[in-house]
Structure 1
Amino acid sequence: MAQRPAQELQSNQEDTARQDLDVLGREILNPVSNWALFWKPRYLAASSTLVHLPYLFWLVENHAPLRVVQLGIGDGVAYLAVCQAIDKLRLDAACWGISPPGSDTEATSAALESNKRLYDDFSIVKIEKMATAHRHFRNAGIDLLIINAPLDDETANLLKSNWEGLLSDRGLVVILDSTVRMTESGATSWLDPLLAAHPGIELDQGEGLVTLLIGDDQNSRVKRLADLELGVAGYRESRQVFRSLGDGIVAQARVGDLEDTRQADSESLTGARDELDKKRQELANARSSEEDALQQLAAARAKNFDFQTEYEEVQAKLADAERSAAEIQKVKSALADTEARLSTTEQALTEAELKLTEAAEKHADLETQLSVKDHQAEAKDAEELALLKSQYQMRLADIAELGHSIARKDDELQRLKLQHDDDVMQRYILAKLGETHLHLHTVLNQPHRFRANRRAKEKVADEIRLVDSSGLFDAEWYCASYPDVEDSGIEPVRHFATQGAYELRNPGPDFDSFEYHKFYPDVTAGGVAALIHYARNGKSEGRRTFPVGEGS
């Protein structure tokens, strides 16, 4: 009897802890109470911080900092995400970004431009050494200090001597790329003692992120998340939420990069087509010039033919004149007239000879010009035609390569979209199964509800029997695939029926739980685990199963 109060106190403490975990789980997993988790980032760039943006949105929403300082702007993704959250939540806050001299890069310049355009009314970015920048914050009042700089010995000493004392009673310290920071020389003197003295939230996705709760006055949600230890209910689930949503943002950024690359390739292809059209026009102009030269040559040849005809007529007239001279000797009476006609004929002959000489000279000149133009036109046409053919073949090869590149990128984009759809579907299935699982275990943990508790236990026993007799549960394979099952000390078939089935785990190599839910959405809508539905109804209804790794 003397131990009963202690037992009751312990039971009340356990109930309170379970209630706290239930509340935390609902707040993290329920988009109604934590809508910032699902915000779409306004600024995206290649960064190891992309996967942590849902967490940073959630942290700003719950912590509501009034003064934020980030040491090291870097690629700007984390800083602009915090500014976006403050802007959307309409917090009366001020943000300071301290970028060391000489750290300006193309990514930093783009981030500075976005900051000026979107958040210039409450965000200030300064290029200044970390050793002197603390002078702007002489009064302790920094609610959120973000570290995005190498943690060498000098930086660690500056953080300890100049910055740690500027944190408010609500002060948080967020360390980006913590996996790398913990291996650097300054971790031993500054970071390790803080990790030992203060509660923290560690996320291992990407390059890692650590949040240290330095001040004593902390938001209850942030504090409860920091109090969750590895292996405690809610620890893995909350981090899975941040990881899944962060992976979605990373996929979104990759899709944007692919779209930009595809647009650039399309513009390059358009330029190649324009250049090809230009060369075709140049070839058409060259052919037109060739036709003009041929027409001029034909006209010169026709003119030469006219000269030859005229020369032959003069020769005929000369022969006639010679015959007339012989007749003069016989016809004395017509001598005067014949002499006059002869004089006229001689004059015409002289003129004809002059014309003939001129015609011959012109003919020779035209022949020379024609020969030169023929050779020049042929050489130029041959050279330009060879060049155009070479350029045309090169353009055809470039166009073919661009087509292959676009096709490959279309395939990659389609794969990423399918992967994103599977992630969204998996989160939806886990949410529906989580409701059923939560309801069942809530009843099991309430023994005072005798009938409901008894029905819940009978339901668990029935589902264990269904799994065991289904022929699809392989205990050895299940334990090998999920090592935590053996560590839990729970019988494999019971573990699967009460936990694994609701976590989309596979019972054996011949049954893929996720593919079954994806193929039969009515099963997911009913909140029934895949193998339990198949064993109870699906097999008799003729529904199909999906071996692990083959998909639908």
Structure 2
Amino acid sequence: MSKTNVAEHVEHSYPALPESEIFSLALLPSLFWRPRFRGNAPTLAHIPFLFWLSSVIKPSRIVVLGAGDGLVHFAFCQAIDKLNLSARCEGYDRWLDESGKSVMTIPPKKLLEHVDYFYDSLSELTVCNPIKNIFSYVDRGSTDLLFIDLERFNSGELPSFSDLFQLVTETGLIVLHGVRGSSYEDEFSVQVIERFGSVRSIELHQGAGLTVIALGDHLPPRLTALFATAQQGRAPVEVETVFRRLGSSLVALERACEAEQKVEKQKKVTRAAQDSRKATEAEITELQHSWAQQMRKMTELKGLVFHLQTEVDELAKKELLSVEKLEAADATIAASKNAQAAMEVAYQQELVAAEQRLEAAGAEADDLRHQLATVETARVAAEVAHELALGEAEQQLESARREADGLRDQLATVEAARGALESTHKEALSELGREKSLLHDKLQSEQEVRFSETAALTKIAENARTEVRNLTTRMVALEAALETAQTHAKQMETRYKAEIANERQTRFKESATLTRMIEDMKTKEEQKKRALEVWLVRKLVRSEKKLKKYRRDRTAFFLDSRSFMVRAYFRLRPHS
């Protein structure tokens, strides 16, 4: 709230009460409550004050305009639950969907689940669109505590403050968050001054600021003391320091929790990177194993090709042997033909010789006939000789004829053998040609298959090498990212540990300070009850050290005194 406008109109007609009246032992636990529903929001720093305020006024109905993330709404619900009040807390807002353009028909699921789990009987969340329809849900003069988060609304979205204040009972309070520096600051100041003239208010300056306004006069004593000790609408420095430190501790704890969550997320990312690295290494190992199997298969295929080539060479050698055999058969046939020709020549020569011998015999017969005619006496001898010669010639002719028949039979046999050899040769050549053609086709197809398999294996090997290189590069990048993430996580963990340690030390010091403040308040309250005794001690004791001892420990001061009268006075009035 603006100090120059509203604070100047604040009434201070109540008598000034000591600060010890603000905090009491019964209210101290509420200052240290931990909110069940947490979030990093600007209102988090004011939660301890809202807890204290709820424990002081004990409202029966609380209305929160601008429930938003639910932090303030659930803080009031927790206070109602802790204090065991018969009260309800109602939260209204116009929540937007994920796109940020459309208004949701029901509150967010996260808030509803928290309500169902903790505050089903005392909490209610409602979508109010537009927010000016709030008077349809809340009756005028029915609210004990009205909280408005001005940071949730743009200028013109809220009804007028004079109308909103009518929702509060005569003894109720209005708590505004975010007045200072907002678009509603001037409008708020003008409307409040016009409507009420002067009001009692107090402002806490932490964050966007929190302003508490009391429209009525009948307030609880603790709240009355707080308004009475305010100077120009601002809470006392000591009181604001207490709430600021308590709120800062919640903010620090929330940040520490967020830091721990970030560290945990970073650890999860690191573990995921390690798992990805292991998976990549497993893929590389599998690829290397597959590549080794492909290389073994290529080696086996090369061996098979070499074996087939050896078989082809052997078949070629067999073909050469078959050709040599055919050439030998041709030579045998040629030799047979030559022998037949020689036999025919010999037969012809024998026939010529036989004919010559026959001609000679004929000549001799003619001579003998001539001689027979001339010589009668030699006829018998000539005839005998002639018959002998003729028989011999006939025998020789018969022998020559038998030899010719034998030669003819041999020639026929040789011709038949030659035909059989030629037929066998042709069949062998045909069979060898078919085998050669089959082997050539088989070799050609096998070579094509081996060539395609070799090309495929070469391509697979190249792809595997490329993938191995890519995976190696990726693994190196992942290792570098993992090292960076681990280093960052260690740095963040060290930093957050140091911050948490400092925060714990600060909280310890603050607790000690609060304890001393409470003890000082108790001492001041006791001293107020013993005003005459305090006046006498100040008049009679000149030593500042002894005065401090009296303020610190009255019992020790009197028991350690050397004066009999002083010790007797203490025994007579030990608790006065």
Instruction: Say whether the fold is shared (TM-score over 0.5).
Output: yes
Matched residue of 1:180: which SS? Answer: coil
On the 8 A contact 1:170/1:215 being kept in 2, the answer is: yes
**What amino acid is aligned across from residue 38 of structure 2 in structure 1?**
L
Matched residue of 1:174: which SS? Answer: strand
Q: Distance in 1 between matches of 2:172 and 2:161?
A: 14
1:207 equivalenced with 2:291 (yes/no): no
On the 8 A contact 2:62/2:143 being kept in 1, the answer is: yes
On the 8 A contact 2:155/2:183 being kept in 1, the answer is: no
**Residue of structure 2 in register with 1:397 after alignment:** 480
- Aligned residue runs from structure 1 range 283-294, under 5 A: 283-294=284-295
Q: Distance in 2 between matches of 1:434 and 1:371?
A: 90
**Residue of structure 2 in register with 1:114 after alignment:** 114
Deviations 1:43-89 (A, max 9, x none): 12221111110110111111011111122223322122112211222
**Residue of structure 2 in register with 1:93 after alignment:** 87
**What amino acid is aligned across from residue 99 of structure 1 in structure 2?**
D
1:158 equivalenced with 2:160 (yes/no): yes
CA RMSD of aligned residues (A): 4.3
On the 8 A contact 1:182/1:191 being kept in 2, the answer is: no
**Residue of structure 1 in register with 2:188 after alignment:** 187
Matched residue of 1:188: which SS? Answer: helix
- Aligned residue runs from structure 1 range 13-52, under 5 A: 20-25=18-23, 27=24, 30=25, 32-52=26-46
Q: Please, which moves more after superposition, 270-279 or 42-51?
A: 270-279
**Residue of structure 2 in register with 1:460 after alignment:** 544
On the 8 A contact 2:21/2:222 being kept in 1, the answer is: no
**What amino acid is aligned across from residue 96 of structure 1 in structure 2?**
E
Q: Please, which moves more after superposition, 146-155 or 75-84?
A: 146-155
**Residue of structure 2 in register with 1:4 after alignment:** none
Normalised by the length of structure 2, the TM-score is: 0.65
Shift of 1:298: 2.8
1:321 equivalenced with 2:325 (yes/no): yes
Q: Please, which moves more after superposition, 222-231 or 145-154?
A: 145-154
Shift of 1:132: 3.0
Q: Distance in 2 between matches of 1:121 and 1:436?
A: 40
**Residue of structure 2 in register with 1:266 after alignment:** 267
Q: Provide structure 2 residue ranges, at least 5 long, that are not aligned to the other structure.
A: 1-14, 340-409, 557-576
Evaluate the alpha carbon distance shift between residue 390 and residue 193 of structure 1 in structure 2; reply closer, same or farther with a 3 A threshold. Answer: farther
Shift of 1:438: 5.8
Q: Please, which moves more after superposition, 417-426 or 285-294?
A: 285-294
Q: Distance in 2 between matches of 1:175 and 1:322?
A: 122
**Residue of structure 1 in register with 2:366 after alignment:** none
Q: Percent identity?
A: 20
**Residue of structure 2 in register with 1:545 after alignment:** none
**Residue of structure 2 in register with 1:305 after alignment:** 306
Q: Provide structure 1 residue ranges, at least 5 long, that are not aligned to the other structure.
A: 1-15, 465-496, 503-526, 528-552
On the 8 A contact 2:49/2:243 being kept in 1, the answer is: yes
Structure with more relative contact order (C-alpha pairs < 8 Å, separation 6 or more): 2
- Aligned residue runs from structure 1 range 263-412, under 5 A: 263-317=264-318, 318-319=320-321, 321=325, 325=329, 328=332, 339=421, 346=429, 349-350=432-433, 352-412=435-495
- Aligned residue runs from structure 1 range 422-433, under 5 A: 422-431=505-514, 433=516
Q: Distance in 2 between matches of 1:433 and 1:79?
A: 33
Shift of 1:414: 1.3
Task: Report how many residues are paired.
Answer: 447
Question: For 1:415, which of 488, 492, 498 is the aligned residue?
Answer: 498
Q: Distance in 2 between matches of 1:156 and 1:191?
A: 15
Q: Distance in 1 between matches of 2:223 and 2:450?
A: 99
Q: Please, which moves more after superposition, 115-124 or 245-254?
A: 115-124
**Residue of structure 2 in register with 1:144 after alignment:** 145
Shift of 1:343: 7.4
Evaluate the alpha carbon distance shift between residue 85 and residue 140 of structure 1 in structure 2; reply closer, same or farther with a 3 A threshold. Answer: same
Shift of 1:134: 1.7
Evaluate the alpha carbon distance shift between residue 355 and residue 64 of structure 1 in structure 2; reply closer, same or farther with a 3 A threshold. Answer: same
Q: Distance in 1 between matches of 2:526 and 2:224?
A: 28
Q: Distance in 2 between matches of 1:455 and 1:400?
A: 73
Shift of 1:290: 3.1
Question: For 1:81, which of 75, 87, 94 is the aligned residue?
Answer: 75
Evaluate the alpha carbon distance shift between residue 382 and residue 309 of structure 1 in structure 2; reply closer, same or farther with a 3 A threshold. Answer: closer
**Residue of structure 2 in register with 1:57 after alignment:** 51
Shift of 1:172: 0.6
Evaluate the alpha carbon distance shift between residue 326 and residue 154 of structure 1 in structure 2; reply closer, same or farther with a 3 A threshold. Answer: closer
Q: Distance in 2 between matches of 1:216 and 1:375?
A: 95
Shift of 1:251: 0.9
**What amino acid is aligned across from residue 37 of structure 2 in structure 1?**
Y
On the 8 A contact 1:178/1:207 being kept in 2, the answer is: yes
On the 8 A contact 1:244/1:423 being kept in 2, the answer is: no
Shift of 1:243: 1.4
Shift of 1:246: 0.8
**What amino acid is aligned across from residue 321 of structure 1 in structure 2?**
K
Q: Distance in 2 between matches of 1:70 and 1:154?
A: 18
Q: Distance in 2 between matches of 1:456 and 1:444?
A: 16
On the 8 A contact 1:72/1:147 being kept in 2, the answer is: yes
Q: Distance in 1 between matches of 2:519 and 2:501?
A: 27
**Residue of structure 2 in register with 1:177 after alignment:** 178
On the 8 A contact 1:67/1:95 being kept in 2, the answer is: yes
Normalised by the length of structure 1, the TM-score is: 0.68
Deviations 1:408-456 (A, max 9, x none): 3213321331222122221233245447756776787756438992699
On the 8 A contact 1:178/1:210 being kept in 2, the answer is: yes
- When Rg is computed on C-alpha atoms for both structures, the one with the higher figure is 2
On the 8 A contact 1:314/1:349 being kept in 2, the answer is: no
On the 8 A contact 1:153/1:185 being kept in 2, the answer is: no
On the 8 A contact 2:298/2:457 being kept in 1, the answer is: no
**What amino acid is aligned across from residue 489 of structure 2 in structure 1?**
I
**What amino acid is aligned across from residue 124 of structure 1 in structure 2?**
E
Evaluate the alpha carbon distance shift between residue 355 and residue 268 of structure 1 in structure 2; reply closer, same or farther with a 3 A threshold. Answer: same
Q: Distance in 2 between matches of 1:157 and 1:457?
A: 64
Matched residue of 1:197: which SS? Answer: coil
On the 8 A contact 2:59/2:87 being kept in 1, the answer is: yes
**Residue of structure 1 in register with 2:358 after alignment:** none
**What amino acid is aligned across from residue 449 of structure 1 in structure 2?**
E
Evaluate the alpha carbon distance shift between residue 343 and residue 102 of structure 1 in structure 2; reply closer, same or farther with a 3 A threshold. Answer: closer
On the 8 A contact 1:175/1:209 being kept in 2, the answer is: yes
1:253 equivalenced with 2:254 (yes/no): yes
Q: Distance in 2 between matches of 1:420 and 1:459?
A: 39
Deviations 1:285-318 (A, max 9, x none): 4434433433343333333333333344445544
On the 8 A contact 1:43/1:80 being kept in 2, the answer is: yes
Matched residue of 1:210: which SS? Answer: strand
Q: Distance in 1 between matches of 2:197 and 2:448?
A: 104
Shift of 1:348: 6.2
Q: Distance in 2 between matches of 1:456 and 1:237?
A: 32
Evaluate the alpha carbon distance shift between residue 276 and residue 118 of structure 1 in structure 2; reply closer, same or farther with a 3 A threshold. Answer: same
Q: Distance in 2 between matches of 1:440 and 1:69?
A: 39
**What amino acid is aligned across from residue 55 of structure 2 in structure 1?**
E
Q: Distance in 2 between matches of 1:311 and 1:152?
A: 94
